[in-house]
Amino acid sequence: MNWHIRKFHLISPFYQLFFKFQTLYYSKLINAHFNTLTTGGYLRILDLGTGTGAFGWSFQKAGHHVMAADAAPGMVKLCRKNGLDCVEFDILEGIPFKDNSFAVVTGAYIAHGMSRPEREILYKEASRVADKYVLFHDFSNRYNFVISVIERVEGSHYREFIRSVPREMEKYFQKLDVVPVDPWHNWYIGQP
């Protein structure tokens, strides 16, 4: 198990402490923004890098079928405990589903944690398995000192990500919309 996966495995109980708060936040965003993307009804969603499952759970609560995925065993265990179907795999080794398997592929706070070459794999694979949309909830390109310090401690690629987003995503999607959802976060919505 590589260090990044091991780290998230070890800190999974800490992430669980924020589950309820996260689901309230995400549910509010889904009600405000996601329903404008769809014509209503049930969608099959793959939530990548799900962690404890808060983003996926919020889509499930909104009436969609969610398959969650994470590489850290501790996160997978907690995600299942939180009521989601969850599979364990490393995105960097490819997503083990056929092309266009899911109407929507989502991921919250996953892209900024990866190096640029890793993000390119993420974008390419997410676009491949999505039929309608890929939706990433992540940081906007506005710099925030506090977030920068937290992300440095976590070992993410926050600064590199905010300097290159959304340009780096554009080549993987026919159309890319950027929806500000609060002062420091955007939804990056790509059409494969």
The parent domain of residue 145 ranges over: 91-192
- Taking only the tens place, the pLDDT of each residue in 137-177 is 999 999 989 999 989 888 899 999 999 999 999 999 999 99
pTM of the model: 0.93
Mean local confidence (pLDDT), 4-21:
85
For residues 61 and 27, give the distance between their C-alpha atoms in angstroms, rounded to a whole number. Answer: 8
CATH number of the domain within which 126 lies:
3.40.50.150
Instruction: Indicate the range of 26-30, 31-35, 119-123 predicted with least confidence.
Output: 31-35
When divided into structural domains, the chain yields a total of 2
Query: Is 106 a residue whose pLDDT tops 90?
Result: yes
Q: Which two tokens stand for residue 190?
A: 């790509």
Element (H, E) at 17: none
Residue 141 domain flag: yes
Q: Which two tokens stand for residue 164?
A: 């290159």
CA 63 to mean position of chain CA atoms: 18
The pLDDT value recorded for residue 39 is 62
Residue 75 domain flag: yes
Where does the pLDDT of residue 40 fall: very low under 50, low under 70, confident under 90, or very high at 90 and above?
A: low
Same domain? For 173 and 125 the reply is yes
Strand order in the sheet with 102-108: 85-88, 65-70, 44-48, 102-108, 130-139, 185-191, 175-182
The answer to whether 172 touches 125, Cβ cutoff 8 Å, is no
The answer to whether 65 touches 83, Cβ cutoff 8 Å, is no
The pLDDT value recorded for residue 1 is 65
Task: Tell which residue, 63, 69, 55, 50, has the closest CA to residue 27.
Answer: 55
